Chain A
Amino acid sequence: MDKLGKLLTGRVALGVLSVATVFAIYIWVTNQPDNNPALLPPISDIVKSFWVNLESGSLLTALGASLFRISMGFIIGTTLALILGCLVGWYKVIEYLFDPLIEAVRPIPPLAYIPIIIIWFGIEEFSRVLIITIACFMVCVVNVIAGMKNVPQVYVDAASTMGANRFQVFRTVAVPAATPFIITGYRIALAAAWTTLVASELLAAQNGLGFLLQEGRRYFLTDQVMMIIIIIGTCAFIMDRIFRMIQARLMQWSEARE
Chain B
Amino acid sequence: MPEIIVDNLTHTFGKGTESALTVLEDINLTFESGSFNCIIGTSGCGKSTLLKMMAGLFDPTDGEMRLDGEIIQGTDRRRGMVFQQDAVFPWMTVSRNISYGPRLRGASKAEQAEIEAKWVEAVGLKGFEDRWPRELSGGMRKRVDIGRVYANNPDILLMDEPFGALDAQTKERLQADLLDTWRETKKTVIFVTHDLEEAIFLSDSIIVMSARPGRVHHVEKVSLPRPRTDEMRLTEEFLAIKRKLWAMLEH
Contacts and interface: CB of A to CB of B under 8 A. Distances in A.
Contact of A176 (B89, B133, B148): B89
B100 A161 contact: no
B87 A158 contact: yes
A172 interface: yes
B144 to A, nearest CB: 11
B105 A161 contact: no
Contacts of B76: 161, 163
Contacts of B89: 155, 158, 173, 176
Contacts of B134: 253-255
B232 to A, nearest CB: 32
A162 B152 CA distance: 7
Contact of A253 (B56, B100, B133, B149): B133
Contacts of B104: 162-164, 168, 172
A162 to B, nearest CB: 4
Contacts, number: 66
Contact of B83 (A157, A176, A177, A252): A157
Contacts of B77: 161-163
Interface string A169-197: 00011001101000000000000000000
Given A157-B81, A173-B89, A162 B100 contact: yes
Interface in B118-150: 132-134, 148-149
Contacts of B148: 162
B87 A157 contact: yes
A20 B57 CA distance: 59
Nearest to A177: B91
A31 interface: no
B133 A162 contact: no
Interface in B217-245: none
Interface string B53-64: 001110000000
A180 B184 CA distance: 40
A163 B101 contact: yes
B113 interface: no
B80 interface: yes
A159 B83 CA distance: 12
A234 interface: no
Contact of B55 (A155, A161, A164): A161
A25 interface: no
B170 interface: no
Nearest to A152: B85
Contacts of B86: 154
Contacts of A172: 100, 104
A179 B90 CA distance: 12
A179 B101 contact: no
A158 B81 contact: yes
Contacts of A254: 90-91, 134
Given A154-B87, A160-B57, A161-B57, A252 B132 contact: yes
Nearest to B100: A162
A1 B57 CA distance: 52
Given A154-B85, A253-B132, A254-B134, A162 B101 contact: yes
B75 interface: yes
A157 B75 CA distance: 9
Interface in A138-173: 152, 154-155, 157-164, 168, 172-173
B92 interface: yes
B132 A160 contact: no
A30 B163 CA distance: 68
Interface string B156-199: 00100000000000000000000000000000000000000000
B79 interface: yes
A252 B132 CA distance: 8
A160 B76 CA distance: 7
Interface of A: 152, 154-155, 157-164, 168, 172-173, 176-177, 179, 252-255
19 contacts: A154-B83, A154-B86, A154-B87, A157-B83, A158-B81, A160-B56, A160-B75, A161-B57, A161-B79, A161-B80, A162-B80, A163-B76, A163-B104, A176-B91, A253-B91, A253-B92, A254-B90, A254-B134, A255-B134
Given A161-B77, A161-B81, A172-B104, 15 more contacts: A154-B87, A155-B87, A157-B87, A158-B81, A158-B83, A160-B57, A161-B80, A162-B100, A162-B104, A163-B105, A164-B104, A168-B104, A252-B132, A253-B90, A253-B134
